[in-house]
Structure 1
Amino acid sequence: MPGKSRWRMVAPVATIALLAAGCSGGDSQDTEALPNSISISIGEPQTLIPSGVVETYGLQVLTSLFYPLVGIDKTNKPYTMAADSITHDKSAKVWTIKLKDGFTFSNGEPVTADNYINAWNYAAFAPNAQVTSYYFDRIAGYADLQPDPATKKPPTVKKMSGLKKINNLTLQVTLDAPFIGFETVMSYASFYPLPKAAFSGDGVLNKDFNEEPIGNGPFKMTGKWQHDQKIQVTKVPDFKGTVPKVDNITWKIYQDLGAQYNDLISGNLDVDTKIPTESLGSASSDLGLRLQKSPSSAFQFIGVPTFEKDFSDPRVRRALSMAINRQEIADQIYLGTQLPATSWVSPQIDGYRANSCGDACEYNPTQAKKLYTQGGGPAEITISYNTDGGYKSYIDALCNQIKSSLGINCTSHAVPSLSELVKDLQEKKNVGLVRLAWAMDYPLMESYLGPVYTTTGSSNYSGYTNPTFDSLVKDGDEAKTPDEAIKKWQQAEDILKDDMPVIPVMFGQNVYGYSPKVDDVTMDLSQNVDIYTIDVAS
C-alpha cells in the first residue's frame, strides 16, 4: 500500500506487496479456542500508524481496525462508507465531507470532524516523518507544515489552513488546485481518523499507540501487537458500519512462505495469502478448489538508484530491462500465475496501455549489451530482495538472465523482511538494485505515477526527477474530467519509457489458498482478504 508499500511494497507487490511466510510461532490454539474465529497470514508490518503504512501487511491489518470514508466498488468507482456524503464545488477545489452519525472508536469515543482534521494534520507535519505525508500535499496550507525550502528551518505551523470544521459531523477541505479524483484518494488508509486517545498533546502522538492502535473499524485489538508472531482482533459490539461475519481474526506473522504454506496444509492456518512459488506445482492437488487466483493491481519492478554514477545513464537502465526475458520468468518461475509487465500502470486501472514501455521491455540481449557498453554500465551489480516474500528463485533467475545477456556478474542480497528493506531504502542505504512492488492505493493512474516517480513522491526511492514528468502528473490532477486526466497521465508515463527510472518485470495476481474451515474467501485488487465476506464454513 502505502506497502500497498511506500514503495508501497506489495506483499509481493510497497504500496509496493509481499506476504511473508515461515511462522514466527504464535500458538494456533489462541484462535481455535475462540468461537467463530479465523487466522490469516501476513508478514511483520513496519507500523500500524495509518499515515506511516506503505506495505500491504500493515494495510491489511488496518482494514480490520479502521473504517474508511470511502470504499471502492468492483468497477473502481468510489462510494461512501464512514462518510454520509461527499460533495465539491464546480471547480472541484472545495470539498465538503459529512460524516455518518453514531460511529465511535473502539474505546467509545464518538467519531467527529476533529478526529479527521487532527489525524491529517499529524500526517502532514514534516517533523512527524510520516511516509504518506505526500498524500496531503494537495490541501491548502500543506507547504506551511514543511521545512523552509531556502533555509531548511523546521516549520512552526502545525495545522493546514485548508482544513475547516463546520460542525461535529462536517469538515470542509480546500485544495490548492482543483482535483476531481480527491474522493477516490480518500479511500486510502492515510485518511483514517485518529481518536483523542492517540495523542498525548496537541499534535503529539502517544508513544504507545502504535502497539495497540484504536480505530473506528469493525474490530479492535485484544492486546498489544506481538511482534513477529501475531496481531489478534475481536469484533466491536454494535458496530454501525458493515458488520463482518466472523468474530475474531488472528493475523499470523510469518518470515517464510514455505512454513506459512505448511501451516495451511496441516490445519494451523485458515488463509494463506500467497502460495510460494516452489509449491505452485503441488498446490492444486493439495488444495483442490480451495486454491484460488484473482486479479491484483500488483506491479513488480526492479528499482534502480538513478542518483548513483553507475546507473545515471538511461542507456544502462534500458539495457538491464532488455536483458530480461519476462515471459520465461512468468512461465518457469511463476508457472503462469504472474504476467509479464510492459507498462508502469496496472492493467486493472483506467488508462492502462499494453506495451507502453515499447522496445525497452522487449527481450533483446544483443541490443542490451550494446547499450550497456555505450552507457558505461558497471561490471558487477547486486539485487536486494526481502526473504519473507518468497523471491529467491525469481531474483536468481533475473540475475542469471542479466549475466547471460550482458556478460557481467550479478549477485543477490537477501534482507530478512520487507519492513527492514523499506527501512534501508528510507535511510538511503546502499542496497544496489532492489526488488520492489507497488499496488494501487486508489484506482487512478496517478496512484502509480505520483508516489513512485515524481520528485517529491513518497516512495521515489530511485531518486528520479524530471520536471516535465512532474508537471504532467500535476496537470492530470487538475484536469476537469477523468478522461482529460488520463491523457495527461499517459503523457507522463511516456516519459518513463525514455528515462527508465525503474524496470517493469511482472504484473501480479493473487494466488491464495484456504482451509476447509472457512468459506467465501476473496482477495481484492489491493491484495487484501475481504474481512467482511469471509465466513466460518457451515
Structure 2
Amino acid sequence: MTPRRRLAGIGAFTLASALLLSACGGGSGDNPEATGGDGGPTTGIVTVSNGEPQNPLIPTMTNETYGSKVINNLFAGLVYYDADGAVKNEMAESIDTEDQQTYTIKIKDGWKFTDGTPVTADSYVKAWNYGAKLSNKQNLSYFFEPIEGFSYEKDSELTGLKVVSDTEFTVKLMQPESDFKTRLGYAAFMPLPDSFFDDPKAFGEKPVGNGPYMLDSWEHNQQISLRPNKDYQGARKVQNGGIDLIAYTEEDTAYNDLLSGNLDIVTNVPSSAFATFEDDLGDRAVNQPSAVIQVVNVPEYLPEWGGEAGHMRRQAVSMAINRDEITKTIYNGSRTPATDFTSPVIDGWSDDIPGNEVLKYDPERAKQLWDQAEGISKFGDKAITIASNADSDHQTWVDAVCNNIRSALGVDCEFAPFPTFDEFLDARDNQTLKGLFRGGWQADYPAMSNFLGPIYGTGAGSNDAQYSSKEFDAKLKEANGADTPEKAIALYKEAQTILFKDMPGIPLWYQNVTAGYGEDVDNVVFGWDSDPLLYQVTKNS
C-alpha cells in the first residue's frame, strides 16, 4: 500500500546501532518526568521497528509506511481513526453538509502548533492549496482532486475552499461525494503552520505539528525520536515518555532484538518466524486481519506487457501463481489469497466480482494464454523480473512466485533486488524498472475508494504503474458521487471488473498484521490499517 501507503517491510539499520540506540529510554529527549498531551505523568521511551522515510516529513509529500508513522503522530487533523477504523472528530467541532457537495467545517478553538502559533481555519486552507498546486509536486496532490478549482494542467487555487473565520471554513466539491468526511483523517488533509511556507525544505527535516507528539531528533538511517506534545488537546492522549522509531536492515535482526529485550515493538514479523512467533511471544504476539493487500504491478511503459498480447501475459502470470500454496507454506496462514483489489476488512469487499477468475491457480490455462500472446508478439528469451527492496524478506515469496511462473509458463523468472526501500521507490518513480514490481498497499482511510482511485486512477499519486483508463476513471467518478454507501459499493465493484480485464496490478494476497511486543510494554493495540496506536502504549521501565 502511494498516497501514504507504499508498504516496505523493514528498512535500513544495523544490529550494533540497534543495540546502542534501542535501550530503555535513550535519545536526547529521554526524561522520566515527561508529560503526555493531558499534562499527566508518562512512562518510559517505547522503541519501535521502522526504516528511513523516502521523502521529507511533509504531510502532503509522505506516502509510504516509514514516513507515515511519523506524520500520523506529529499531526492532528480534523478527524482520526480509532482501532476499528471508526471516524472520530479530533480538531473538528463539526463537519456538516446538506448535499454532500458543500461542507461547513468548524474547528475547536485554542489549538497550537508546537512552535506556539495557533491552528486556524487558514492553516488548513493554505496547506490544502499548497498540496494541490501542480508546481509544488506533492505526492498526495491527487487527494484534492474532488475540490472545486483543482487542476492537473496548471497551477490554480482551490476555489472551493473559503475561510469564514479563524474557526470555520467551507469546502465545495466538484460533485457530491458521500465519503468525503471519512478521508479527512488522512495525512494529505493535515494543517500546516506559517513557518512551513517560509522554508518547506527546512520544515521537511524538522516538522512542526499539532499532534500528540513532537519531533525531538532525526538521525538519518538510524532513528527518529518523538516526544510528547504537552499542548496537544485531542483524544489521542500520550501514555508514554516518547517513541523511538529504529531503522533496521533486516527483519530478522529486529525480531531477534525483540526476543532479547532490546526492542519493544516489531511491526512486521519476518517470514522465518511465522511458524514460531506465536509460541515465542504468547499473548504478546499479534496476528489479525488488516486493510493491507500485496500485488505485482505491471509498468504501462513496457511494450511487451501492453496491447492484446500484453494483457494475455498479465492474465497468464496471475493464473500461474499458486496463492493458496504460498500463503500456507511461506506465511503459515497469515496471508489470505486475494479475490478482489480491496480488503476483507473494508465494507463492500467481495469474492465474486466478475473477472476475478484470473486470480485462481490454473497453470494449464496460464500456459495457453502465454502461448497465444507469443503468437501475436514475441516476449523473447529474456526473463520475467519482479523488483522489490532487499532490506526486507520479500525475496522469499518472489522466489516462490517465480518458481510457479517457470513451472507453468516455461519462462525464466528472477528477483530484481534493490538494496533499500527508498532506492527501490526511486527506481520505480523514475520509471527505470525493466519488469514487474512489488506493490503493497496499506489503506489511508477505511473505504473501498482508497484501494482503487489513488492506485489506478489516471494521474493519481500512487499510480506507480502509470495505468490510465477512461472507462475506469468514469466509473470511479460515478462511484465517488453516489448518494448512498450501498450505491457506491455496487459501482466500485463495477470499476473492479475493468481492472480485472486490464490487470494493471496482479492481486496476490491480503495481509494480516503479524507483529509482536516485549515484556516491558502494555496496552499495545494494532489498528484496522495494521499500524500500532503508539500513543496509548505504556512502558514499565
TM-score by length of 1: 0.92
How far off is 1:163 after superposition?
A: 1.0
**In the alignment, which residue of structure 1 is the partner of 2:414?**
411
**In the alignment, which residue of structure 1 is the partner of 2:10?**
19
Note the 1:102-501 alignment, pairs <5 A. 102-143=110-151, 146-148=152-154, 155=155, 157=156, 159-200=157-198, 205-223=199-217, 225-242=218-235, 243-312=237-306, 313-356=310-353, 357-376=355-374, 378=379, 379=381, 380-501=383-504
How far off is 1:21 after superposition?
A: 6.7
2: distance between equivalents of 1:333 and 1:450?
31
* Structure 1 unpaired stretches of 5+: 12-17, 149-154
Match among 62, 74, 83 for residue 92 of structure 2: 83
How far off is 1:458 after superposition?
A: 1.6
Are 1:58 and 2:67 counterparts? yes
2: distance between equivalents of 1:286 and 1:523?
19
How far off is 1:282 after superposition?
A: 3.0
Deviations 1:481-524 (A, max 9, x none): 11111111111011112111111101000011111010111111
Deviations 1:297-335 (A, max 9, x none): 110000011332211121110000000000111011111
Q: Which is further off, 349-358 or 481-490?
A: 349-358
Report if aligned partners of 2:302, 2:434 keep a CA contact under 8 Å in 1: no
2: distance between equivalents of 1:31 and 1:339?
38
1: distance between equivalents of 2:59 and 2:223?
18
State the superposition RMSD in angstroms: 1.7
Deviations 1:87-123 (A, max 9, x none): 113x211111111112111111110011111111111
Report if aligned partners of 2:212, 2:535 keep a CA contact under 8 Å in 1: no
How far off is 1:388 after superposition?
A: 2.5
- Return the letter of the residue paired with 1:412: F
How far off is 1:29 after superposition?
A: 3.9
How far off is 1:75 after superposition?
A: 5.5
**In the alignment, which residue of structure 1 is the partner of 2:48?**
40
- Match of 1:111, SS state, is coil
- Return the letter of the residue paired with 1:252: I
2: distance between equivalents of 1:228 and 1:76?
31
How far off is 1:416 after superposition?
A: 2.0
**In the alignment, which residue of structure 2 is the partner of 1:151?**
none
**In the alignment, which residue of structure 1 is the partner of 2:35?**
none
Q: Which is further off, 468-477 or 285-294?
A: 285-294
- Return the letter of the residue paired with 1:120: W
- Return the letter of the residue paired with 1:338: R
How far off is 1:418 after superposition?
A: 2.2
How far off is 1:429 after superposition?
A: 1.2
How far off is 1:72 after superposition?
A: 2.7
Report if aligned partners of 1:103, 1:240 keep a CA contact under 8 Å in 2: yes
1: distance between equivalents of 2:432 and 2:505?
18
Q: Which is further off, 462-471 or 110-119?
A: 462-471
Deviations 1:397-455 (A, max 9, x none): 11111111100010111112222222222211124100111121111111011011122
Distance 1:446 1:472, change over 3 A: same
- Match of 2:146, SS state, is coil
- Return the letter of the residue paired with 2:108: K
**In the alignment, which residue of structure 1 is the partner of 2:37?**
none
Distance 1:512 1:21, change over 3 A: farther
- Match of 1:246, SS state, is coil
Deviations 1:460-491 (A, max 9, x none): 12222221111110001111111111111111
2: distance between equivalents of 1:337 and 1:22?
26
**In the alignment, which residue of structure 2 is the partner of 1:101?**
109
Percent of residue pairs identical: 36
- Match of 1:469, SS state, is helix
Q: Which is further off, 161-170 or 415-424?
A: 415-424
- Return the letter of the residue paired with 1:335: N
Are 1:520 and 2:523 counterparts? yes
2: distance between equivalents of 1:38 and 1:3?
27
TM-score by length of 2: 0.91
Distance 1:258 1:515, change over 3 A: same
How far off is 1:251 after superposition?
A: 0.8
How far off is 1:360 after superposition?
A: 0.5
- Return the letter of the residue paired with 1:240: Q
- Return the letter of the residue paired with 1:278: S
1: distance between equivalents of 2:524 and 2:286?
9
How far off is 1:169 after superposition?
A: 0.8
Deviations 1:152-192 (A, max 9, x none): xxx3x4x3211110000111111111111110111111101
1: distance between equivalents of 2:174 and 2:3?
27
- Match of 2:275, SS state, is helix
Distance 1:92 1:3, change over 3 A: closer
Distance 1:287 1:344, change over 3 A: same
Report if aligned partners of 2:13, 2:222 keep a CA contact under 8 Å in 1: no
* Structure 2 unpaired stretches of 5+: 33-43
Report if aligned partners of 1:3, 1:59 keep a CA contact under 8 Å in 2: no
How far off is 1:362 after superposition?
A: 0.9
Deviations 1:264-294 (A, max 9, x none): 1121110000110012233233322211112
Distance 1:389 1:34, change over 3 A: farther
- Match of 2:514, SS state, is strand
2: distance between equivalents of 1:100 and 1:311?
52
Report if aligned partners of 2:83, 2:533 keep a CA contact under 8 Å in 1: no
Report if aligned partners of 2:288, 2:512 keep a CA contact under 8 Å in 1: yes
Report if aligned partners of 1:273, 1:512 keep a CA contact under 8 Å in 2: yes
2: distance between equivalents of 1:38 and 1:245?
10
1: distance between equivalents of 2:12 and 2:361?
32
How far off is 1:238 after superposition?
A: 3.6
